[in-house]
Structure 1
C-alpha cells in the first residue's frame, strides 16, 4: 500500500463495509483518546491540523484523474472531523482535571452529531462537499466537526443548567 493510500484510508479502515465513513469516525475515537491522554486538547488540535494537511495531499493523489473525487474508502476526512467534534470534550477534561472517559456523554454526542452533520450535509457542510476536489472532501468534515463541537458545547451547557 502506498503512503497516500495508507493515509487516505487510515491504514485500510476505509475498506471496511458497510458504512466506511462510520468506521472511520469510530477509528478516530480511540486515536483521539490516546492523543487527549498523552497531550490534552493542544495535541488533539495539532494532530488534527497535521491529519488535515496530510489528508488533503493524500486525497488529491488518490483521486487524481478519477471521476469520483470523494470515494467512500477515503476516511481521513472523518478522522479530522471527529477529532474537531471531540475538542470540547478534550478541553473540558483538561479544564476540570478529570480523565477524558468521565465525560462519556460528550463522546457519544460528538460521535452522533458528527455523523449526523456529515451524512445530512447542512449549510456550509454541503457547500464544501460540492467543491468536488480534495479540499472539499476534507473541508466538509471540518465543518461537520465544527457544527458537532458546537452541539457538544450546547448540549453540555444545557445539561449543566438543568441538572447541576
Structure 2
C-alpha cells in the first residue's frame, strides 16, 4: 500500500518526467471534480494527499540510499492540489465554469504551469526544503512550490481582471 500511495497508483513510474505526469493527472482529476459539482473535493484531496505523503514517504524511503526517488510523486499531487485550490475555490464561489477548452481554463493552466516551474526551478524556500534530503523535505519542497504557484496564479488573475480586461474592452 505504501508504494501505491507514494507513486500515486503507479503514475510515478511513467517516463519521462514522472512529476509532470502526476501533476497533469492531478489537474485533470481536479477539473473533472469541479465540473461534476464537487469542487470542495479539491481542498479535501489536498489534505488527504498531504497527510498520506507525510505518512508514506518516510516508510517508502526507509532503507533506500536515494532520499528523493523520482517515482515518489505523492508530493507533486499534494503541491499541485494546493496550487489549484487558489483558483478553483474562488471560481466555485463565483459559479464560474471551469473547462479544458472553454470557461475559465486559465484557472487550471496557470497553477499547473507555475507549480511545475517552481518545482523544477526550486527558488528560495522550495530549494531550501529540497536540500534537507529527508522525507519531510520531499514533501515540503512541493508544498512550498504549490503555495507559491497558487499565490502567483491569484496575482496574475488579479492583474488580468483589474488591468488587462478593462483595457482590452
TM-score, shorter chain, exceeding 0.5? yes
How far off its partner does 1:90 sit? 1.0
Q: TM-score, normalised by structure 2?
A: 0.90
Unmatched runs of 5 consecutive residues or more in structure 2: none
2:115 is matched with: 114
2:156 is matched with: 155
2:126 is matched with: 125
Is 1:96 matched up with 2:113?
A: no
1:50 is matched with: 48
Aligned match for 1:19, one of 4, 17, 20: 17
How well do the aligned residues superpose, as a CA RMSD in angstroms? 1.3
Is 1:82 matched up with 2:80?
A: yes
Q: How far apart in 1 are the matches of 2:29 and 2:77?
A: 9
Q: How far apart in 1 are the matches of 2:86 and 2:94?
A: 12
Unmatched runs of 5 consecutive residues or more in structure 1: none
Q: How far apart in 1 are the matches of 2:16 and 2:148?
A: 25
Q: How far apart in 2 are the matches of 1:145 and 1:77?
A: 10
Q: How far apart in 2 are the matches of 1:108 and 1:94?
A: 16
| Contact 1:89 1:100 survives alignment (8 Å) | no
Q: How far apart in 1 are the matches of 2:37 and 2:7?
A: 24
Q: TM-score, normalised by structure 1?
A: 0.92
| Contact 1:57 1:134 survives alignment (8 Å) | no
Q: SS of the counterpart of 1:39?
A: coil
Which has the larger share of helix? 1
Q: How far apart in 1 are the matches of 2:2 and 2:33?
A: 22
